[in-house]
Amino acid sequence: MWHQAWNGSVWSGWESRGGLLTSPPVAVSWAPNRIDLFGLGTDNAVWHQAWDGSAWSGWESRGGLLTSPPTAVSWGPNRLDIFAIGGDNAVWHQAWNGSAWSGWESRGGLLTSIPVAVSWDENRIDLFAVGGDNAVWHQAWNGSVWSGWESRGGIVTSPPSVCSWAPNRLDVFARGTDDAIWHQAWNGSAWSGWESRGGLLTSPPCAVSWSADRIDLFARGGDNAIWHQAWG
């Protein structure tokens, strides 16, 4: 794992964060000057390293026997939730509650893509992945219980990307069979239908929000360049 940082005025050089990993990394922050970094190791376990504001920890195994890269989300200070696909094609979940890690638990499902998790409020998680029917499937934690899996429909050819620009708002993007990006949104009371955002893309999309009512969407095009679309 290699790391580079922007301190507000300049970029650092690249530094090795070590490890022996087989997946892309995922990084999440639950407080100022805090980073938690996760990746899949050669033993198919999830490995974790943290920056506490002054120093990096060593790598520690979070265990598991996983077949996909992990995804991580934080819904509050000193809270982390990790998700990955297991050998049974179900999503598996582990949580840090501020003092201890839980064991791995199955969140069920029969999924074929990396899961993606997003939080739009304290004690809220929305989890998405592609199912065996090539539709997007969704499960949510409301602070006390998990919902069952529900189909969000669509026929997609990439893992979904999800962002939230406000409480009770979700925007889901995935590549369709026509290589365009398709979009579905939750407005707080109902889901929209799927709409095409166009393009001729060769990678999964990546969506991010940096303010209320703002989305920036990125994907690789057939020319191997990065293409961008924004909702303002």
| pLDDT tens profile 188-208 | 999 999 999 999 999 999 999
Cα–Cα distances (Å) from 92 to 39, 84, 220, in that order, read 15, 5, 29
Alpha carbon distance 138, 185 (integer Å): 13
Q: What is the pLDDT of residue 138?
A: 98
Concatenated DSSP letters of 49-82: EEE-SS-BPPPEEEE--BSS--EEE-SSTT-EEE
| Topology classification of domain 114-232 | Neuraminidase (2.120.10)
Chain mean pLDDT for the chain: 98
167-180 mean pLDDT? 98
Q: What is the pLDDT of residue 214?
A: 98
**pLDDT-based confidence at 97, cuts 50/70/90?**
very high
Task: Answer yes or no: are the C-beta atoms of 185 and 194 closer than 8 Å.
Answer: no
**pLDDT-based confidence at 32, cuts 50/70/90?**
very high
Domain residue limits, the chain? 1-78+90-108, 114-232
Q: What is the pLDDT of residue 31?
A: 97
Cα–Cα distances (Å) from 58 to 36, 47, 62, in that order, read 12, 10, 13
**Which residue(s) pair with 141 in the sheet?**
125, 146
Q: What is the pLDDT of residue 45?
A: 98
Q: What is the pLDDT of residue 186?
A: 98
Q: What is the pLDDT of residue 117?
A: 98
Task: Answer yes or no: are the C-beta atoms of 17 and 49 closer than 8 Å.
Answer: yes
| pLDDT tens profile 39-85 | 999 999 999 999 999 999 999 999 999 999 999 999 999 999 999 99
| pLDDT tens profile 2-26 | 999 999 999 999 999 999 999 999 9
Q: What is the pLDDT of residue 102?
A: 98
Alpha carbon distance 225, 95 (integer Å): 37
Amino acid, single-letter form, for residue 219: A
In the DSSP assignment, the letter for residue 228 is E
Q: What is the pLDDT of residue 81?
A: 98
Q: What is the pLDDT of residue 209?
A: 98
